[in-house]
Structure 1
Amino acid sequence: MVKVSVKIGGVKDVDAFNKICSRFSCDVDLQAGKYYVDAKSIMGIFSLDLEKPLTLVVNTEDEADVKEKFKAYLAE
């Protein structure tokens, strides 16, 4: 499992971020505090406070691939 901190900007960013998540065959979740949502669900993403960094949880062992695909959104 790979966990990275991400920052999603506006509506266009949410759509692009969601499309990247949908390409994964494994589970992809976003965590905001105690709340988890399916990152493949655009409505789930919009239910979170996008003003703060979120934790992206991808159920894969390929950390380099995750960081490469989400490099535009990494908050680190």
Structure 2
Amino acid sequence: MITKTININSLDKIETFVDIINKFNGRFDLVSGCSIVNAKSIMAIFSLDISRPVYLYIYNEESAEHVTKALAEFEVNALQIQEQLLA
């Protein structure tokens, strides 16, 4: 399993994210706090606190590189996370 930290803090970002992630086979989950939802479900994503970065779990390690490249615009680095937590 591969874990990425992503930012999907707007409706446009969520729609784009779901469109991209649905192009890939396999299981993907989003985690925010103690909530885990199917990353391919736009309705499930709306149940998360998207004001902060969330974790994307990629279970198929064979396609992880392709998924990571396709979702690069959403990925958050450690400095960005720290800035958001301090804001």
TM-score, normalised on structure 2?
0.80
- Structure with the larger RCO, 1 or 2 (CA within 8 Å, 6+ apart): 1
Q: Report the 3-state secondary structure (helix = DSSP H, G, I; strand = E; otherwise coil) of the residue aligned with 2:72.
A: coil
Task: Give the equivalent residue in structure 1 for 2:20.
Answer: 20
Q: Within 2, Cα distance between the matches of 1:7 and 1:34?
A: 17
Q: Within 2, Cα distance between the matches of 1:31 and 1:20?
A: 18
Q: Select the structure of larger CA radius of gyration.
A: 2
For the Cα contact (< 8 Å) 2:20–2:70, is it kept in 1? yes
Q: Report the 3-state secondary structure (helix = DSSP H, G, I; strand = E; otherwise coil) of the residue aligned with 1:37.
A: strand
Q: Within 2, Cα distance between the matches of 1:65 and 1:20?
A: 11
Q: Report the 3-state secondary structure (helix = DSSP H, G, I; strand = E; otherwise coil) of the residue aligned with 2:44.
A: helix
The equivalences for 1:1-76 within 5 A come to: 1-62=1-62, 63-76=64-77
Q: Which runs of 4+ in 1 moved over 4 A?
A: none
Q: Report the 3-state secondary structure (helix = DSSP H, G, I; strand = E; otherwise coil) of the residue aligned with 2:74.
A: coil
1:64 positional shift: 2.4
Q: Within 1, Cα distance between the matches of 2:28 and 2:46?
A: 15
In structure 1, stretches of 5+ residues that fail to align are none
Q: Deviations over 1:29-68 (max 9, x none)?
A: 1001211000110001111011111000011114422220
1:9 positional shift: 2.6
Name the one with the larger helix percent: 2
Aligned residues: 76
